[in-house]
Amino acid sequence: MQLFIGGACAGKRDAVTQRFDAPHWHSAHAGCRLEAWRSLTETRCLVLEGWERWIGQRLADEPNDDRLRQAMARELDALRAWEAEQGGQAVLILLEMGRGIVPLGRENRRLRDLNGWLAQDAAARCERVWYVWNGLVKSLTL
Amino acid sequence: MIAFISGGARSGKSTHAEALARRWQAERGGARYYLATARSGSDGEWQARIGRHRQARGEGWITLEEPVDLIAALERVEPGGTLLLDCLTLWASQLLYSSEHASELAEVRGIAMLEHLLAEARRRDVALVIVSNDVNEGMPPEDAEVWRYLAFLQRVHRLVAQEADEVIQVMAGLPQVWKRRDGEPS
């Protein structure tokens, strides 16, 4: 599993496109639900993006931050298991959103916190982590 | 040669950029220019900010003021000179929002102007040090206009970072090297 993290419009998609051949894009921005990746297991390389949306969709139903963090981490574990069993490659694209002012709204604060925890949990499970900044890409691992 | 230097607010971007411009001028000879995108006739807070930057820069700079038209500014630089442009965030907002330039075509015009600036600087042997401010790593904006500004500024950053020979991210006054002058990533 590999992680690409960077701010809005930093060039994360281009960074992934340059490194992976014909991946399948599973995107929240195209209306895909997170857990629906399980029906795409025929694909060899699976890119998952829009995690902040997937977190946002779950905020109302799960008021407990720890449980929601754990639920997201279980998705990461399931992706790792799929990789091991099927020989696939999972690529996560995460939005860096933690470097601004604390948001005024409670839901936005939760979203920002959970997104930060997800980034930590994802990085801990990835062999490679890449930081995308103004179209340039740097490895944070190795 | 072209350098792109960016980072957060008060991260030490300008100090690093000024030092680099001085070093390049010392290597190359020629005059050293400072292109201010802020007009000095603005309000008191701006006067103070401008004064602080001017004092920190010290002597030996020829100051050019040009809020939007970067090509007009470049035309005033002698070949062989070194030009420091500080900074793109202000230029981008003036390009998008100042009444004489604001239009649907402002983004297209802005990107074309920057491409022209980079190519012309190389052609005229003007060393260019470009400073900007990263504003895309906080919560994504909810307002559509702010999104438009952010998306445009990021397009500008990606273009300049791609074209530059040296790219530096400044954090807490310390330079993180993304690209060195020979084009090799660090």
Task: Please check whether residue B44 lies inside any domain of the structure.
Answer: yes
Per CB-CB distance under 8 Å, the chain B contacts of A108 are: 139
Give me the CATH number covering residue A89. 3.40.50.300
Q: Find the domain containing A50 and state its range.
A: 2-139
Owner of token pair 């929002």: B97
Q: How many CB pairs under 8 A join A and B?
A: 69
* CA within 13 Å, CB half, A86: 18
Q: What is the pLDDT of residues A53-92, one digit of tens each?
A: 999 999 999 999 999 999 999 999 999 999 999 999 999 9
Active site residues per annotation of B: 53
ipTM of the complex: 0.90
Per CB-CB distance under 8 Å, the chain A contacts of B154 are: 7-11, 134
Task: Please check whether residue B184 lies inside any domain of the structure.
Answer: no
Domain count, chain B: 1
Give me the CATH number covering residue B169. 3.40.50.300
**What does residue B31 show for φ and ψ, rounded to 5 degrees?**
-90, 165
How far is Cα of residue B45 from the mean position of the Cα atoms in its chain?
Answer: 21
Owner of token pair 């904006």: B141
How far is Cα of residue B64 from the mean position of the Cα atoms in its chain?
Answer: 13
Task: Please check whether residue B186 lies inside any domain of the structure.
Answer: no
Task: Please check whether residue B67 lies inside any domain of the structure.
Answer: yes
Domain count, chain A: 1
Residue A12's closest CA among A106, A92, A101? Answer: A92
Beta-carbon count within 10 A of B144 CB: 8
Residue A49: burial class (beta carbons within 10 Å; 0-12, 13-18, 19+) = buried
Residues of A with CB under 8 A from a CB of B: 6-11, 52, 95-101, 103, 108, 111-112, 133-136, 138
pTM for the full predicted model: 0.89
Q: Find the domain containing B125 and state its range.
A: 2-179
Query: One digit per residue, pLDDT tens: chain B, 186 residues?
Result: 999 999 988 889 999 999 999 999 999 999 999 998 876 665 777 777 777 777 777 778 999 999 999 999 999 999 999 999 999 999 999 999 886 666 778 999 999 999 999 999 999 999 999 999 999 999 999 999 999 999 999 999 999 999 999 999 999 999 999 998 864 444
- The 3-state DSSP class for residue A4 equals strand
